[in-house]
Amino acid sequence: MNLSVSVMPTNSPPAQSKPLILDSLPDMPISERGCPPRTRQQIDLILLAIEALELGGSEAMLFTAKELELQDIIKNRVVLWRLRCTNPLRRSHTRRPLQVEEAKALVVIASHMARKMTALIRQLLLAYQQLSDKQVPLDHHFRLSEYLERFRAHFRSRMNPRRAKVAIYNSDEKLNELALSLLSQLLFCTGTSGMQRFWTSLFDGEVA
């Protein structure tokens, strides 16, 4: 007697597709260990600048992740914190790798938030230029002074002072220079193809 056996299909979940917005950034030929230290450092610092510009910056990053359908990569505050702690300059540095897809998600979020703050970023950079030309202290502009003060506080509370690359920022003046440099990078992100150019710049000299 012939017996027919019917095989029921398994209800395996479909493979999750990569968010399409990440395809706008080219893949980089990096090792299995993930993104280079300099790349991890620069991404975290640019996010630090965003936090100094906007109160509740971390929550805004999570909201932006959801808005851009990146919540499968950056699920919550803890995941965001762990990704940022791949920055080797952090007090809470972890040795977990930062994968390319994770780095792309952070860059997309940073660039998207920077575009929303374009007017403010331009205003602060213009104020800095005008104050410098007149040799007036930066604390004469309330909004610029507020940004710089927040950035200094964030940097000092989160970065490891025993690291040589942190120790060089041992004064308000040097931290202000870093904060203003990051402000210029944020403006760079807002321009035409700025996100792509910023992403590529993170790997300058890091890949063959």
Check residue 134 and give its pLDDT: 93
Quick one: which of 74, 132, 78 has its CA closest to 103? Answer: 74
More confident residue, 34 or 67: 67
**C-alpha to C-alpha distance for 172 and 154, rounded to whole angstroms:** 13
Average confidence (pLDDT) over 183-202: 93
pLDDT at 46 over 70: yes
Average confidence (pLDDT) over 24-45: 89
pLDDT at 101 over 90: yes
Q: With a threshold of 0.75, does the pTM exceed it?
A: yes
Q: At what angle do helices 118-133 and 142-158 cross, to 10 degrees?
A: 100
**C-alpha to C-alpha distance for 64 and 66, rounded to whole angstroms:** 5
pLDDT band at 55 (very low <50, low <70, confident <90, very high): confident
Percent of the chain at pLDDT exceeding 70: 89
**C-alpha to C-alpha distance for 190 and 117, rounded to whole angstroms:** 9
